[in-house]
Amino acid sequence: MNLRKLPPLWPAPRLLNVSLKQTRVLDGWHFRITSNTDCDVVTRAIVRYRNLTLPSSTTRSGIDGDRDAPANLLSSLHVGVRRHNGANNCGYPPPKANERYTLTIPASGDANLTSETVWGALRGLETFSQMVLARPNERYAVVNSGEVRDFPRFSHRGILMDTARHFLPVAIIKQNLVGAYSKRHVYSEEDVRGVVEYARLRGIRVIPEIDTPGHTHALGRAFPDALTPCYGNGSRGTASLGQHGAFEMLDPTKNLTYSLVQSLISQVAKVFKDPYVHLGMDEVYYDCWYDRENMMFITLLHKN
């Protein structure tokens, strides 16, 4: 089997039934991608994937001039979405979106991409873009005819971008979807909404993380009374090298702490659309809470 002629799809789909024979793709000026929906998730994806799949360098004159190009011609791709009307079907991607799709590419004529939702259409467009091959030494693009059926193994896939320790410009955040010291290194609400919208159009959910109850030293600069003092060397507000800072964990014995966390979550909910929020909970140094000087915490613990 000539593996060079198989499409290099990543991740591997659940069903890949394609021919080793390749079909020439109509040039970028004339290849049509149509859809039965005007949902912006699909219409804007079509524009992106047209530019990505059929670069302008693949010109009509170049294709017509290649004698070795396959005779069969693929002229269009139609994207058919069964449920696409209303805010529930064209809005923010739900936690358990139906991302199934079927992509059918004939030996010539028109290809079809069908899905239940716009999120499945996005996954199918990504697969189609990977199947179209514009080889460096050839002036035309080709695609293997056949059928692909796929859906993600896990409904939730994700990466955690830690912008608390290292500020990342919005352009870098988009490229990957693509309170730092400096006063300019903060995200405005407009920045956040822009990232959420950028991700939405690509079928990606943005789940915010409020890192608690540890890693809150920076928050303590504004609300010092909300942090638990540590006794690293026996004195109040001293660190233990390699274990914890002097003040870096929220104090669960203070009413201020709960009011502060509630306020933070309320603000986050205004700009993020996802129903979930990540509360961190990593690297909590219990020694600070259990220190004999923090008797209020120990009393609270045994009460509950």
> Could you tell me the residue range of the domain that residue 132 belongs to?
3-150
Q: Domain count of the chain?
A: 2
H/E element, 79: strand 73-81
Q: Is residue 12 located within the same domain as residue 143?
A: yes
Q: Is residue 86 part of a domain?
A: yes
Q: How many CB atoms lie within 10 A of CB 92?
A: 19
**Tens-digit pLDDT profile for residues 93-136:** 999 999 999 999 999 999 999 999 999 999 999 999 999 987 65
Q: Is residue 291 part of a domain?
A: yes
Q: Is residue 219 located within the same domain as residue 87?
A: no
Rounded (5°) CA angle 147-148-153: 160
Q: Is residue 224 located within the same domain as residue 142?
A: no
**Tens-digit pLDDT profile for residues 42-74:** 999 999 999 888 755 444 333 444 556 667 899
**Tens-digit pLDDT profile for residues 171-204:** 878 776 753 334 556 778 889 999 999 999 999 9
H/E element, 17: strand 15-25
Q: Is residue 94 part of a domain?
A: yes
Q: Is residue 185 part of a domain?
A: no
Instruction: Please report the pLDDT score of residue 295 as a whole number.
Output: 59
Q: Is residue 186 part of a domain?
A: no
Q: Which two tokens stand for residue 80?
A: 């058919």
Helices (H), the chain: 40-53, 60-64, 118-131, 170-176, 189-200, 217-222, 255-271, 286-290, 295-303
Task: Let me know if 190 is a catalytic residue.
Answer: no
Q: Is residue 14 located within the same domain as residue 138?
A: yes
Q: Is residue 289 part of a domain?
A: yes
* pTM over the 0.85 mark: no
Q: Is residue 36 located within the same domain as residue 135?
A: yes
Listed in sequence order, the residues at least 6 apart from 283 whose beta carbon sits closer than 8 Å to its beta carbon are 214, 215
**Tens-digit pLDDT profile for residues 224-266:** 888 888 877 777 777 776 666 778 889 888 899 999 999 999 9
What is the CATH classification number for the domain harbouring 107? 3.30.379.10
Which residue in the list 190, 197, 283, 293 is annotated as catalytic? Answer: 283
